[in-house]
Amino acid sequence: MCGRFAVTLPPDAMAQLFAATPANDLPDVPNYNVCPTTQIHVIRAGEGQRHLQSMRWGFLPHWYKTPTDGPLLINARAETIAEKPAFRAACRERRCLIPATGFYEWTKDGEGKRLPWYIHRSDGAPLAFAAVWQDWARGEEAFRTCAIVTTGANDRMRQIHHRMPVILEPRDWALWLGEEGKGAATLMRAANEDVLEFYRVDPKVNSNRARGEDLIAPI
């Protein structure tokens, strides 16, 4: 799965990297502890161009009566996304990208304590997670929401966790966004083992209130 990540790229750099037009209400960066239900940076295609905008991380199916009416859907499994009622329409029609600098995963020591790891691209480039989005509204409450697509981990990542986000290379962004016709399903696979590297970080990131650049410092 992917339940926490970091993003440090300024909005203008994100807009340039993804050739997207930025909105005016983007979340503050850097953020070294991006948590579910907060607003995050998302790239979607529409109206003949790409848009960099803010969305709520936590997908809300249209039948939810309130944002807490069902499970918190921060991830969508690649293996079942096309069949699950919550995601199947979004998988066909509303795919997007979520930029990140790195993400966190956890193991446990012999006493059951959670040990955080920070995972990032080995070449230092930003990550682009495959994701899907959905508009949700009830009365005066309205959100544009999203979920990160995950798949089975590659052999190296499996040392930490059995799942990982689907990470897309720049050559695949247009296909995932629906700009190059059909075939996006072929992209929902684990990244090659040499794409990512990881190291232990301080357990203070276990708190969703933790802030600061030192959260991604190796220990």
Gap between the Cα atoms of 146 and 92, Å rounded: 14
Catalytic residue flag (residue 105): yes
Residue from 2, 91, 96, 146 carrying the catalytic annotation: 2
Gap between the Cα atoms of 101 and 191, Å rounded: 16
Catalytic residue flag (residue 180): no
DSSP string, the chain: ----EEE---HHHHHHHTTEEEPSSPPPS-EEEE-TTSEEEEEEEETTEEEEEEEEESB--TT-SSTTSS--B-EEETTTTTTSTTTHHHHHH-EEEEEESEEEEEEE-TT--EEEEEEEETT-PPEEEEEEEEEEEETTEEEEEEEEEEEEPPTTGGGT-SEEE-B--HHHHHHHTTSS-S-GGGG-SPPPTTTEEEEEB-GGGGSTT--SGGGG-B-
Residue from 35, 105, 140, 180 carrying the catalytic annotation: 105
Q: Six-digit token pair at 93?
A: 């029609």
Catalytic annotation, residues: 2, 105
